[in-house]
Amino acid sequence: MRLKAILTFGAIGLLVGAALILYINITASKSFSVDGLVLNEADPINGSYVYLAAGCNSCHISEEDPKKGYLAGGQKFETNFGTFVAPNISNSNLYGIGNWDFKDFYGAVKLGQNPEGNHYFPAFPFTSYSRMTDQDIADLWGFWQTLPSVDLPSGKHEVSFPFNIRRNLGIWKTLYLQDSFMDEKNDRATYLVEALGHCAECHTPRDAIGGLKSSQWMHGAKNPSGKGTVPSIHPKDLGWSREEIVEYLSSGFTPNFDVVGGAMASVIENTSKLELSDRILISDYLLRLGDK
């Protein structure tokens, strides 16, 4: 009897130990280096274009800032897991990322982790940005050096247990963070939509723990705040021509002469400033979804 008890305890101990080691391994941040990246000198002009196409300002501008250039944060994003607040990512040494280096920035955008090795919440759409090229991230960082700094403290997220434990996001990332593209054409159109434009982050429904349901890619979703929906942009639902999609991405006018509203308005503010050829590529990507 005693032997059986000892063996049982031993077995439970081993299982708990193994589970703990697995947890620690899966949830650990990645160690990485940027020294081996093959990069040209950063091009801030391309960086400013990447910034537009990726819509960093849509979430990070401070609502009090009429110039929309200061990235002091403060916008709130309500989700099923709690409320996230976009942080100050201006060049403020005190409150922003002014004392970061390229490696810190790369870790945030590409790996979704901060310089201390904590995971970010996917309310920051790094699952899309992780597909960005190393050169575009370097150029974006080059552009960052031209941006002002603003000393406003970031707000605090209000997220409930267990979702507030950043370590647990390591499990989430194992499930959902991948650098492959959904569209195997893997061309510039794919890159503009899936990496930079992060269109799927709003237009694809999410499962119970907030991962994108890839089987319903762009088929429309509940608004993350629970109020209202984001429409499907799959061509069988949208039914717009290439010219109509390009017009929408340029002016915000729908074929019925409605005007864009909600979260899409700030997306259009950015797409309207892209090269026409890129708006055409984005439209082609959407139409291609109907081929499958």
Tokens representing 264? 């899409």
Q: Tell me the closest approach of the beta carbon of residue 268 to ligand HEC, in angstroms.
A: 8
Contacts of 123 (CB under 8 A, 6+ apart): 77, 79, 84
Q: Tell me the closest approach of the beta carbon of residue 184 to ligand HEC, in angstroms.
A: 19
Task: Write down the residue that tokens 């960093």 correspond to.
Answer: 56
Q: Tell me the closest approach of the beta carbon of residue 193 to ligand HEC, in angstroms.
A: 6
Angstrom distance (rounded) from CA 221 to CA 217: 10
With contact defined as beta carbons under 8 Å apart, do 279 and 249 qualify?
A: yes
Q: Tell me the closest approach of the beta carbon of residue 136 to ligand HEC, in angstroms.
A: 9
Q: Which of 42, 59, 72, 111 binds ligand HEC (CB under 6 A)?
A: 59
Angstrom distance (rounded) from CA 144 to CA 131: 19
CB of 7 or CB of 265, closer to ligand HEC: 265
Tokens representing 202? 């709003």
Contact status: 147 vs ligand HEC (CB under 6 A): no
Tokens representing 133? 């090229």
Q: Which of 230, 246, 281, 289 binds ligand HEC (CB under 6 A)?
A: 230
Q: Tell me the closest approach of the beta carbon of residue 1 to ligand HEC, in angstroms.
A: 51
Contact status: 70 vs ligand HEC (CB under 6 A): no
Contact status: 86 vs ligand HEC (CB under 6 A): yes
102-to-44, 50, 106, 121 alpha-carbon distances in Å? 14, 16, 6, 21
Residue 177 identity = L
Query: Applying CB under 6 A, which residues contact ligand HEC?
Result: 54-56, 58-60, 77, 84, 86-87, 89, 97, 108-109, 114, 120-121, 123-125, 129, 193, 197-199, 201-203, 230-231, 233, 238, 245, 248, 254, 260-264, 267, 271, 282
